[in-house]
Every structure is written in structure tokens, then in C-alpha cells.
Structure 1
Amino acid sequence: MTRLFNEPSAFADEMIEGFAAASARWVTAVPGGVVRSTRAAEDTVALVIGGGSGHYPAFGGLVGPGIAHGAAMGNLFASPSTQQVYSIAKTADQGKGVLLCYGNYAGDVLNFTEAQERLKAEGHDVRTVLGVDDIWSAPVDRMQDRRGIAGMLALFKVAGAAAERGDSLDDVERLAKHVMTRTRTFGVAFGGCTFPGADAPLFTVPEGRMAVGLGIHGEPGIDEVDMPTADGLAELFVSRLLDEVPEGVSVDGARVVPILNGLGSVKYEELFVLYRTVHRLLEARGLVVVEPDVGEMCTSLDMAGCSLTLLWLDDELEELWAAPADSPAYRKGSVAPQERAEIVVAGAAVEDIPEASDASKAVAATIGSAFVEIANAIDGAADELGHLDAVAGDGDHGIGMQRGVHAGRDAALAAVEAGAGAETTLRHAAEAWGDRAGGTSGVIWATILRSLAGALGDAADVSRVEISAGVDAARDAVTSFGKAKVGDKTMIDAIVPFADELRERIAAGDSLVEAWSHASGVAEEAAQETAALKATLGRAKSHGDKSIGTPDPGAVSFALICTTVSDVLAQDLEEDSK
């Protein structure tokens, strides 16, 4: 369990602050994470990595000469927000382009992609290569669907070394893609991890059993087997990984890097006992072992578990793997002299509050009141939302929703106080929610609020038709960028019926209060009906069958927000009638 913390919601922020203070020789804290505190004599391509916190040394511990130039660090097990990724990448860019490398998870893909598009629009040359090394998360013919776990170290090391030697962005990108085609990882767990302040781990493994095919975000394993001895686990690791030798590689005489990774609470001594047999088995198969790594490379808080990665080398990859590196948590050889860098962080633009009509200000006041009640509702449901998410995901949905809605509430109330109209109030709330929450829910709710804002405006009266049109726009925007559809067991299963019912009721002549109330009931029913579905998208997709019987937490939280807004609208109507 996690024992040392203050306020659980502040854990990641305080961790990053302490890490940066302890590692000032390598990194400097900037909004969104850390960047290198030093710079080489010549400008290079910037490698920016990232993901949720809770995986140290990934991601901040791998920032330094020879590896990454910056790390976007989200909240525990939650993707960094679009703004965080944008801030780190823009600060790290030396004019030679940026390569973004991160794990293939829905929230990370959404937020990193939005940041990439924003940077491109400003003239930065930005590319992406995803970590996809987990052999249990998808079959080999669907490698693009696999998760990134501890094998991402190979991706970061090779791409970072290529950038360090002065390769072009085209070549760094090519090598990053190449190393992923030759990297395979298999992980197991003996027990789940526990969030700071939580009273139980995200999952448990029965005594004498072992979960196989786990993720690094507290997700349960895809299967369970009897607990083996260290030798038995080594045989399982090696035999399964050798079942999937990369195309074009002949096993006999092949050069391979084993990376034996502890996930948080397995001791180094245990890992060495395990590696003893891994090494012997690899050599017995005719493989040449090159510069192995044994230790903690990508953890999952205090999870009891480990993984084995095999990186299949060629001459180019071997040179880059062996190249010097110097970071807080990973060092090899001797790097070229570095100079202290002058870090220039672009300040956030201060947005003026545009003029708004009295009618729009009145709607903004209702929006502020709604945010207050929504925050109260989410606070009351956070534990249950986390439990729903832990069934087949990572258990952070309740925490993420709390962080997002609190930030959105505070931003909305500040905008109302400054005299903002409905559109400006919602836009301020959207940016604050997305930035603070991160993860999939953060980017989705930021999109919902921005879409609704665009339909309301600051000047005109806001009618029920505009509100319905805004909800339709939000539905379309979320389905467009997330690619989810009804039946995938996501928030879309509640958004679509809510939007459809609201539009139909308003077209039939219902008042906004009546229409919203009916639509909220439909959303709530649809959210509960997701219990019968199998997850096909997001982190839960690798554990789809385990999600059957439990409603989708995103759909449940969406319905909860809709019903809360319905209560606020009804209360406003009651007060107006007095």
C-alpha cells in the first residue's frame, strides 16, 4: 500500500515537485512535467515522452542526455492533459523537431494528438511513435492495438540516442518505429497496487495464483495461472516470448537485450533469482545476450509483479542501445559535456472577458450553480466510480472526475464573478477541466463543454433550441475524435440517447426543464444497460469479458451530471415562479 502522502489528490503534484528538487542536475520542473536542465553543444531533435504518474522511473526519471528531453507527467495512472503535453513539447523543442513517444492508451492518444495538432498549427514539426510492446493485449496481426508497457524503455533509449547523435527527425522517427517492431514484453502480477488514501488495492489475486497479461495502470491480468517457482516463471516468460520472434529474425545466434522489470514491490534480489534462469534459458536457445537490464524501469505504484522484455537487436539498434545516457534513473557510459540550459516557458495567455448580454450573464450564473452541484454529486460518487473503473480498467475515473469538475467549477465561478456570458464561462471551465483532469475523461469533458459553449454565445438570448444544438454538437465532437460508437461500452452509450431524446422532446414542444429531465432519465437507463456490454475500446478493451456485469463508469458519471443539471434547472424554474 501507499503509506506516505498528504492529501491524496495532491500526491502527483507533490511527487513531481520533490522529484524535480532532488534531480536538479538533470531536470527542471515546468508546467506539465519536467524538461532537461542541460543542453548539448549542438541543437538536436527533442524526444518528449510521458504518461500518467505512478510508474517511476517512467517517465520523468528517464529525462537526461542520451534519452528524453522532456516528460509530460499526468496524475496517477491518468494521461497528461493536452495543455501539459503542449507545454513540455514546446519548451523542449530546439528547432529540429519533436518526436512524441508514449504508451498506446486511449487518454494518452487523445491528449498527445491534440497537443501535436496544436503545435503543428504553430509551425512545429512534431511526429509520434507509440509504445506497443505488450504481447498479451492484442495478437501479433494487430500490433497497432497493443499497449505500451516496460518495453517502452527500448523505444525511449533508441530514439533518445539517435537524437543525441544528431540524427534528423525523419531518422529518429524511423528508428523509433523500427525498435518497436523488435520489442516484445510479457508481464505478470501477484497482487494489485493501491492508490494513496485508498482502503484496498485495485485488484487482488487469489492465494497461490498469478495474474498474467497485466497492464501498468492497475488493470487486472487477462488470465490467471497457478503460482510458479522463479524457475517456472522464467520458463514461462522465455517460452512465450520466443513464440513471437519478430519477422526477419533467426533465433540461432540472434543478439537480444533482456529487460527484467519490477513493477513496484518485487525486490531486486528476487529479480536476480529470476534473471539467473532467464539468462540461462536464452543462451540455451542459441541467443547472444547483450547488455541486459534488471531492475525497476516502469512500475505501477506498489504492484507486486514483474515483466520480461526482449529487444531483438541489429547492428544499428545495438549501437544505439549501447550509447551513453545520463538521467536520474538510467545511466550508461559517459555522455558528452553539457551546459546548463536557460529554460524559457511560454506564459499562458490571459484571456479578456468579452462583453456579454444580461440574458447570457443570467445563463452563466445558472451554469456556475450547476457546477457547484455537479462537484458535490461527483464527490459523493467518486469512490463508486473508482470501483466501477477498477473492474476492468485502472480505477482512477472517480479521482479524475473530481479533479476535473473541481477545476471547472472554480473557473466557471471566477468567470461569472468577472461578468462573463454563457460561452466564456463554459470555455473557461472546459480548459480548466481538461488541464486538471487529464486522461480520457478530461479531454472528453473539455470537448463537451467547448462544443456547448460554441452554441450558446455571449450576446444573444439562449433558447432551448440552442442548448439542444450544443448538446448535439458535443455528441458529434466526442464521437468524431474518440471513434467510439453506441455499443462499445463507453460514455457514448449515454451521450447519444441523451442528445437524441433532448432534441426530440424539444422539437415536440416540451420546455427545457421537461425535455432535460426526460433525457436525463434515458441517459441514466442507458448507462446502467452498459453492464450487459463487453468493453471494446479504452484500457478495458483488453479485459472486455471482465467488464460484463458492471456498467461503464464514464457513462454512469455522464448520466449523474445530466440528472444533477436537471435538478438545478428545476430549482431555477421553481424560484422564477415565486
Structure 2
Amino acid sequence: MTRLFNDPDDFLDELTEGFVAASGRWVRAVPGGVVRSTRSPEPTVAIVIGGGSGHYPAFAGLVGPGLAHGAAMGNLFASPSTQRAYSVAKEADQGRGVLFSYGNYAGDVLNFDAAQDQLKAEGIDCRTVLVTDDIWSAPPDEFEKRRGIAGDLTVFKVAGAAAEEGASLDEVERLARHTNDRTRSFGVAFDGCTLPGKSEPLFTVPQGRMAVGLGIHGEPGIDETDVPTADELAELFVSRLLQEVPEGVEVSGARVVPILNGLGSVKYEELFVVYRSVDRLLRAAGVEVVDPEVGEFCTSFDMAGCSLTLLWLGNEPGGELERLWTAPADTPAFRRGSVSEREHVDSSATAAAQKTIPPASDESRHAATYIADLLARMAEAIDAQADELGRMDSVAGDGDHGIGMQRGSRAGARAARSAADAGAGAGTTLAEAGDAWSDQGGGTSGVIWGRILQTLGKTLGDEAPVNAAVVAAAVGEARDVVMGFGKAKVGDKTMVDAIVPFADDLSASVEAGRPLRVAWPQAAAVAEQAAQQTADMAAKLGRARSHGDKSIGTPDPGAVSFALICTTVAGELPPADGAG
């Protein structure tokens, strides 16, 4: 378990500070993560990677010449927010475009896509290549739905080397996609990982058993088997990966890069014992092993487990993928060959922009104070249920929903109070809360609740009185926004299963003339019932999708937390319509 930390809420900030202090030769801190501390001789395409913390050396440890230009860093196992991804990309951009690359997880996709949209709106050409190497997370005919695990390294390395050679954004994107198409991975675990401040791991594996096909965020394995010997594990890895050779590659004579990756607490010596058989089995299959790697490249905090990745270079020596994989690189955690001397850039902190509070009516400022109080109550309610929300999420997901909701709701409450105390109206207060929730909460829940609060704020504004009709309309807008960008629908076992009936019932009640103090509690009860009914569903979206029927019997944590917040607000409504 994790032992060395101070306040768990400060873990990301403190690990970032320590990492930068130890790695100033390669990186400097910027809002949202790190970028190179050196400048290329000539401007290149910027490779920006990222994801949740807890996977070192992915992602910050792979920033440096010949590899990534920047890494957006989220909280433990939570995707970096839109603001973080955008900020890092802006700092990394050299005028030749930005390539985002990261593992295929719902929260990362939502946040990085939103950051990409912002960059494009500012005239910066930006592309995305998702890493989808995990063969256990979806069948071959649904390759695009697979998640990214240790195969991240191959895609990042090839893209970084291509950029270093001066390739265009079109060419860098092509090569990154080609590398992803040629990369396959398979992981196992013997025990789960424990996040700072928690006494129990996100999942457990029975003594003497091994989870097969697990995810790097603590998602349970797809299957389970007895713990094998090192030779038997190598046989399992190699035999399964040889069943899925990329199109256009002949196994006999194929040139392959094997990467045996430790997930956190498996020792290097153990990995070498396994790799001994991996190498032998690959060569017996007629494969030519090229420049293998054994070590930690994408971990899962203190998880006991490992994975094998195969990058299929092709059948001809010296091809483009082989040239780029073996090209020099110099980062805190991955070094190869020798790169030229680089000029260091100014590492002074970027000055924070001063926020201006827009004017607001007295009625809206009064509503803002009430909204700040509501957000504080919401954060308290989430705190009380965080462990249970995490337990529900761990059944088929990664178990961090409670932690993410805690971080986000606390940050949202603080931002709302600060805005209201500064004289902000209802709209600005909600928008500030949404920005903070998204940034600190991270992950899927962070971006969703950020959008909800921002949409509520936009609809309420800072001038008009806040009444039942306006609130119902704002909730309806938030529902549509969540469904629009998340692509979820009723029945997919997500928050949408609670927000749709809540918004519909609230709107119908308000249209029938019921005051908010009556309509909201009634709609909250509908949301609570809908959330509990998700227990009968199988997950169809997000990380839980890979585990399908495992989620049956447990309500969706996102729907449950939404209903909890609605119920909390219901208990705080004033005796008459007006504020809130």
C-alpha cells in the first residue's frame, strides 16, 4: 500500500513539484503539467501526451528530446482537465501544430477533445491519435474501442522521433496511427493498488489467483486464473499475442519490439525471469527480436502485475518504424543514444491572469450567495458517501469516482464562495465553480459536472432573477449538453439515466405551476429511483463497458452521485421561489 504522502488532496501538486525539482535538465513546470526545459534547434511539431498520475514514468517521465514535448497531468487515475491539456499544449506549441496522444479512456477523450477544439479555434492545427493496444478490452473488430496501456510508449516514441526529424504534422500523425495499428498488449495482476489516504486497494485478487486482462487504473481483470510460473506466464503472453498479428505482417521473419512492463511492485529481477522465456518463445516462433525493453514504462501505482507489449515493425530490416523506435531520446525515464546539446529556456512561472468579476444585479448576487451555500452542502454530502461511491465504481470500473467527486465538489464549493464573496452574480458563480470542479475533479465526472455548472451559469446569467422557470430551463439545457458531448443515452448505465428523468420531471412540474420547493424534491425522488434502477443494467460506455455483465447488480456511481446531489439541494431549498 502507499505510505509516503502528506495530505492526499495535495499529492499531485507535491509530486509534480518534486519531479520538476529532480528533473530540471529535461522539464519545467507549467499550469497543468510539464513541458521541455530545452528548445529544439528548429521548430517542430509538438507531441503532447498525458493522463492521470500514478503511472510513472508515463506520462511526465517521457518528456524530453526525441520523445514528448509536454505532458498534461491529472490527479491519480483521473484524466487531466480540459484546462490542463490546453495549457500544456499552448506552452509546447512551436508553430508547426500539436499532436495529442493518450490512452483511449472516456474522461481523457472528453477533456483532450475539448482542448483540441480550443486550440483549433485559435488557429493552432491540432490532431489526436488514441492508443488502443489492450487486446483484452475489446475484440479485434472493435479495435477503436480498446483502451491504451503500456503500448503508449511505442506510439509516443515513434511520434516524438518523427517530429525530431522535422516531419510535418500530417506525417507525424500518420506514423503515430501506423504505430498504434502495429502495437498489441496484454496485462495481468496478482493484487490491486491502493491510492494515498486509502486503507483498501481498488480491487483484490484471491490468494493464489491472477487477474487476466486488467486495466492500468485499477479496473478488475476480465478473467481470472491460478498464478502461473514465470515460464507459464510467458507462454500465456506470447501465445495470446501471436493470435492477433497486425494486418500486413508475416510472423515468420517479422521484426518485433517486445516490452515487458512492470505495473508497480513486481521486481525487475522477476521481470527478467519472465523475459527469458518471452525471448525464447518469440524466437521459436520465427520472430526477429529488435531492441527489447524490460522495466517500468506504464505503472499502476503499487499494483502487483505486468504486461507484455509487441510492436510489429514489419518484415524488412531498417524500416521507418524501426528507424524511429531506435532513434535517440533523452527524457527523465527513457534514454537512448545521444541527442545534441539543447538551449535551456526560461523556466520562470507564467503569471496568472487576473479575473474580472462582471457586473450583476442585486437579485443575482443574492442568488449567488445561496448557490455557494448549496455547493458547500453538496461537497459535504459527497464527502459522506465518497467511500461507497468508490466501492460501486470498483465493481466494474477503476474505483476512483468517489475521490474524483470529492476533489471536484470541494474545489467547486471553494470557487463559488470566492466568486460570491467578490460580488459575482449567479451565472458567474456557477461558471467559476464549474471551471474549478472540472480542473480539480478531472476524469469523466469532472468534465461532466464542469459542463453542468457552466451550462447552468450561462442560462441563469448575472442579471435576471432566479425563479422556478429559469431553473427548470437551465437544468434542461444541462441535460442536453451532457447527452450531446458524452454521447450517452438512457439505458447505457451512466449519469444520463438519472439526469434525463430528473430534468423531464422538473420541467413538467414547473410547467404545471408547482413551485420549485415542491417540483425539485419530487424530481429528485425520480432521479433517485432511476439511479437505483441502473443496478439492473449492463454498462455500455466508459471503463465499465469492458466488464459488461459484472456491473449488473450494482447501480451506476455517476447516476447515484447525481441523485445524491439533487436530494441534497432539495433539503436546502428556501420556503419560497427566488434564490436557487
Query: TM-score range with shorter-chain normalisation?
Result: over 0.9
Instruction: Give the equivalent residue in structure 2 for 1:251.
Output: 251
Is structure 2 residue 116 aligned with structure 1 residue 116? yes
Residues 47-89 of structure 1: CA distance to partner in whole angstroms, max 9, x if unpaired?
A: 0000000000000000000100000010000000000000100
Instruction: Give the equivalent residue in structure 1 for 2:455.
Output: 451
- Aligned-partner Cα distance in 2 for 1:457–1:67: 45
- Aligned-partner Cα distance in 2 for 1:279–1:455: 61
Instruction: Give the equivalent residue in structure 1 for 2:494.
Output: 490
Q: Are the aligned partners of 2:515 and 2:576 in contact in 1 as well (CA < 8 Å)?
A: no
Q: Are the aligned partners of 2:531 and 2:556 in contact in 1 as well (CA < 8 Å)?
A: yes
- Aligned-partner Cα distance in 1 for 2:268–2:350: 42
The gaps in structure 2 that reach 5 residues or longer are none
- Aligned-partner Cα distance in 2 for 1:428–1:348: 15
User: Which of 546, 549, 562 in structure 1 is aligned with 2:553?
Assistant: 549
Deviation at 1:352, TM superposition (A): 1.8
- Aligned-partner Cα distance in 2 for 1:389–1:212: 19
Instruction: Give the equivalent residue in structure 2 for 1:63.
Output: 63
- Aligned-partner Cα distance in 2 for 1:414–1:203: 38
Instruction: Give the equivalent residue in structure 2 for 1:239.
Output: 239
Instruction: Give the equivalent residue in structure 1 for 2:205.
Output: 205
After superposition, residues 420-439 of structure 1 pair within 5 angstroms as 420-439=424-443
SS in 2 for 1:306: strand
Give the letter aligned to residue 409 of structure 2: V
Is structure 2 residue 222 aligned with structure 1 residue 218? no
Instruction: Give the equivalent residue in structure 1 for 2:81.
Output: 81
Q: Which moved more, 1:451-460 or 1:292-301?
A: 451-460
Deviation at 1:350, TM superposition (A): 2.8
Deviation at 1:453, TM superposition (A): 1.1
Instruction: Give the equivalent residue in structure 1 for 2:178.
Output: 178
Give the letter aligned to residue 210 of structure 2: M
Q: Are the aligned partners of 1:356 and 1:459 in contact in 2 as well (CA < 8 Å)?
A: yes
Q: Are the aligned partners of 2:516 and 2:577 in contact in 1 as well (CA < 8 Å)?
A: no
Instruction: Give the equivalent residue in structure 1 for 2:417.
Output: 413
- Aligned-partner Cα distance in 1 for 2:74–2:577: 42
Q: Which moved more, 1:126-135 or 1:384-393?
A: 384-393
Instruction: Give the equivalent residue in structure 2 for 1:270.
Output: 270
Instruction: Give the equivalent residue in structure 2 for 1:531.
Output: 535
Give the letter aligned to residue 393 of structure 2: D
- Aligned-partner Cα distance in 2 for 1:206–1:377: 33
The gaps in structure 1 that reach 5 residues or longer are none
Residues 363-394 of structure 1: CA distance to partner in whole angstroms, max 9, x if unpaired?
A: 11210110111111111111111111111111
Give the letter aligned to residue 384 of structure 1: E
Give the letter aligned to residue 278 of structure 2: V
SS in 1 for 2:259: strand
Q: Are the aligned partners of 2:515 and 2:577 in contact in 1 as well (CA < 8 Å)?
A: no
After superposition, residues 461-540 of structure 1 pair within 5 angstroms as 461-540=465-544
- Aligned-partner Cα distance in 1 for 2:123–2:420: 35
Residues 412-441 of structure 1: CA distance to partner in whole angstroms, max 9, x if unpaired?
A: 111111111111111111111111111111
SS in 1 for 2:470: helix
Q: Are the aligned partners of 2:30 and 2:350 in contact in 1 as well (CA < 8 Å)?
A: no
Instruction: Give the equivalent residue in structure 1 for 2:333.
Output: 329
SS in 1 for 2:360: coil
- How many pairs were matched up? 574
Instruction: Give the equivalent residue in structure 1 for 2:131.
Output: 131
- Aligned-partner Cα distance in 1 for 2:283–2:190: 27
* Superposition CA RMSD, Å: 1.2
Give the letter aligned to residue 505 of structure 1: S
SS in 1 for 2:562: helix
Give the letter aligned to residue 364 of structure 1: A
Q: Are the aligned partners of 2:54 and 2:77 in contact in 1 as well (CA < 8 Å)?
A: yes
SS in 2 for 1:525: helix
Q: Are the aligned partners of 1:49 and 1:102 in contact in 2 as well (CA < 8 Å)?
A: yes
Deviation at 1:463, TM superposition (A): 2.0
Give the letter aligned to residue 420 of structure 1: A
Q: Which moved more, 1:322-331 or 1:206-215?
A: 206-215
SS in 2 for 1:394: coil
Is structure 2 residue 41 aligned with structure 1 residue 41? yes
SS in 2 for 1:160: helix
Deviation at 1:575, TM superposition (A): 12
Is structure 2 residue 355 aligned with structure 1 residue 351? yes
- Aligned-partner Cα distance in 2 for 1:269–1:341: 39
Residues 465-494 of structure 1: CA distance to partner in whole angstroms, max 9, x if unpaired?
A: 111110000000000000000111111011
Q: Which moved more, 1:116-125 or 1:334-343?
A: 334-343
Deviation at 1:286, TM superposition (A): 0.5
- Aligned-partner Cα distance in 1 for 2:516–2:351: 41
- Aligned-partner Cα distance in 2 for 1:50–1:385: 26
Q: Are the aligned partners of 2:517 and 2:577 in contact in 1 as well (CA < 8 Å)?
A: no
Deviation at 1:347, TM superposition (A): 4.7
Give the letter aligned to residue 492 of structure 1: V
- Aligned-partner Cα distance in 2 for 1:209–1:90: 46
Q: Are the aligned partners of 2:412 and 2:434 in contact in 1 as well (CA < 8 Å)?
A: yes
- Aligned-partner Cα distance in 1 for 2:368–2:4: 41
Deviation at 1:513, TM superposition (A): 0.8
Deviation at 1:342, TM superposition (A): 2.9
Q: Are the aligned partners of 2:49 and 2:102 in contact in 1 as well (CA < 8 Å)?
A: yes
- Aligned-partner Cα distance in 1 for 2:458–2:469: 13
- Aligned-partner Cα distance in 1 for 2:17–2:196: 17
Is structure 2 residue 388 aligned with structure 1 residue 380? no
- Aligned-partner Cα distance in 1 for 2:78–2:294: 26
After superposition, residues 152-171 of structure 1 pair within 5 angstroms as 152-171=152-171
SS in 1 for 2:396: coil
Residues 287-322 of structure 1: CA distance to partner in whole angstroms, max 9, x if unpaired?
A: 100000000000000000000000000310000000
Give the letter aligned to residue 398 of structure 1: G
Q: Are the aligned partners of 2:468 and 2:577 in contact in 1 as well (CA < 8 Å)?
A: no
- Aligned-partner Cα distance in 2 for 1:372–1:322: 53
- Aligned-partner Cα distance in 1 for 2:351–2:494: 36
- Aligned-partner Cα distance in 2 for 1:530–1:16: 38
Deviation at 1:407, TM superposition (A): 1.1
User: Which of 552, 565, 573 in structure 1 is aligned with 2:575?
Assistant: 573
Q: Are the aligned partners of 1:102 and 1:131 in contact in 2 as well (CA < 8 Å)?
A: yes
Deviation at 1:353, TM superposition (A): 1.5
Q: Are the aligned partners of 1:489 and 1:535 in contact in 2 as well (CA < 8 Å)?
A: yes
Q: Are the aligned partners of 1:415 and 1:424 in contact in 2 as well (CA < 8 Å)?
A: yes
- Aligned-partner Cα distance in 2 for 1:498–1:39: 52
Instruction: Give the equivalent residue in structure 1 for 2:30.
Output: 30
Deviation at 1:458, TM superposition (A): 1.1
Q: Are the aligned partners of 1:91 and 1:343 in contact in 2 as well (CA < 8 Å)?
A: no
Instruction: Give the equivalent residue in structure 2 for 1:106.
Output: 106
Q: Are the aligned partners of 2:517 and 2:576 in contact in 1 as well (CA < 8 Å)?
A: no
Give the letter aligned to residue 361 of structure 2: S
SS in 1 for 2:477: helix
Q: Which runs of 4+ in 1 moved over 6 A?
A: none
Q: Are the aligned partners of 1:56 and 1:298 in contact in 2 as well (CA < 8 Å)?
A: yes
Q: Are the aligned partners of 1:40 and 1:337 in contact in 2 as well (CA < 8 Å)?
A: no
- Aligned-partner Cα distance in 1 for 2:141–2:495: 28
SS in 2 for 1:573: coil
Instruction: Give the equivalent residue in structure 1 for 2:187.
Output: 187
Q: Are the aligned partners of 2:29 and 2:347 in contact in 1 as well (CA < 8 Å)?
A: no
SS in 1 for 2:346: coil
